[in-house]
Amino acid sequence: MQVRDYLKLSVAVALATIALKTAAWWVTGSVSLLSDALESLVNLAGAMFALLMVTVAATPADADHPYGHHKAEYFSSGFEGVLILVAALAIIGAAVQRLITPQPLERLGWGLVLSVVSSAMNGALAWAMLRKAREHRSMALEGDARHLFTDVWTSAGVVLGLLAVAATGWLWLDPVVAILVAGNIVREGVSLVWRSVDGLMDRALEPTVQAEIQRTLDSFSHPALRFDHVTTRRAGSRHFVDMHMHMPGDWSLGRAAALRTSVEQALMAAVPGLRASIQLLPMGVEAHLHGEDDPL
């Protein structure tokens, strides 16, 4: 299955869990189960938007976007984070109202069964999606998977809270659990939004990937060669590296270009999805790089 297939499956599972959790809330009247159902609505909206952004990210480069559309995935993660925060506010509002006017819970058995079944579906899908996200370095898929994991932990907290209500008869536990669930949702939402913003600011590649790039360059080590100004960035699932390669000034253009091609191919073989850009310079010539305060 490809990334888009997993997101389509996520939409289908979200619809199923909405039905199950809404039914659980309907038969019990539990505000914590209502909070769980509201988060599933966010799951649906997030999965649909992620599917849209992955489709955009796969669009080939064009004249207006010569480097491609890979960063579209970060918008998906940020959008899902914002939706999570909105859902958390709705949950807190409902929970506070229930704290003010407690209501008895009914048919908890059925409600708990429906909640557990939906959580099992979400957990299995989230585990598979996270593995696929790491394989394809998809920020959109990873964001949706982590949101689903949050939903699983939310449901687990709700179930434990309702079991405590059934054991003690303390009705206030139901809205308190809902508020705690909302706090956990806020934490995950803020994390997703921050990671999205961080990615849009051209974050450098992971240290392990940078180390692999350096090892590849070291394999070309020679007194006549020097690499410097090596910079990396990530855009969605695509990795980029730019650098200068210094060589003897009396080399022919054909020889220099052939060596550059060999280095680029070695880098792209070492790091799947990498795009390398190498500027050739003769020894003794340094390229001027604008600093933060330099005029353009």
Q: How many domains does the chain have?
A: 2
Same domain? For 154 and 225 the reply is: no
Same domain? For 165 and 69 the reply is: yes
Q: Which residues contact 217 (CB under 8 A, 6 or more apart)?
A: 227, 230, 243, 263, 267
Same domain? For 19 and 130 the reply is: yes
**Residue 295: pLDDT band with limits 50, 70, 90:** very low
Same domain? For 24 and 166 the reply is: yes
State yes or no: pLDDT of 257 exceeds 50.
yes
Range of the domain at 229: 207-282
Q: Which residue has the higher pLDDT, 242 or 288?
A: 242
State yes or no: pLDDT of 22 exceeds 90.
no
Q: 26-59: per-residue pLDDT in tens?
A: 877 776 677 667 767 777 777 777 778 778 777 8
> Is residue 244 included in any domain, yes or no?
yes
State residue 267's pLDDT score. Answer: 93
State residue 136's pLDDT score. Answer: 67
CA gap 70, 76 in Å, rounded:
11
**Mean pLDDT for the chain overall:** 78
Same domain? For 183 and 240 the reply is: no
> Is residue 21 included in any domain, yes or no?
yes
> Is residue 79 included in any domain, yes or no?
yes
State residue 85's pLDDT score. Answer: 79
Token pair recorded at residue 177: 């659990």
**Residue 296: pLDDT band with limits 50, 70, 90:** very low
Same domain? For 111 and 192 the reply is: yes
Q: 131-179: per-residue pLDDT in tens?
A: 777 776 666 677 777 767 777 777 777 777 777 777 777 777 777 877 8
Same domain? For 144 and 273 the reply is: no
Last residue of a domain, one of 168, 200, 232: 200
> Is residue 292 included in any domain, yes or no?
no
Same domain? For 155 and 231 the reply is: no
Residue 97 maps to which CATH number? 1.20.1510.10
Same domain? For 11 and 85 the reply is: yes
Q: 50-107: per-residue pLDDT in tens?
A: 778 778 777 887 787 777 777 777 776 677 777 777 777 777 777 787 778 776 666 6
**Strands 238-247 and 274-282: what pairing?**
parallel
Please state which of the ranges 124-128, 175-179, 245-249 shows the lowest mean pLDDT.
175-179
Same domain? For 180 and 238 the reply is: no
Same domain? For 97 and 195 the reply is: yes
Same domain? For 169 and 237 the reply is: no
> Is residue 245 included in any domain, yes or no?
yes
Residue 240 maps to which CATH number? 3.30.70.1350
- Residues 239-246: what's their mean pLDDT? 90
- What is the percent of the chain with per-residue pLDDT over 70, rounded to a whole number? 86
Last residue of a domain, one of 200, 233, 253: 200
Last residue of a domain, one of 153, 175, 200: 200
> Is residue 104 included in any domain, yes or no?
yes
Query: Any idea which residue has 């598979």 for tokens?
Result: 128
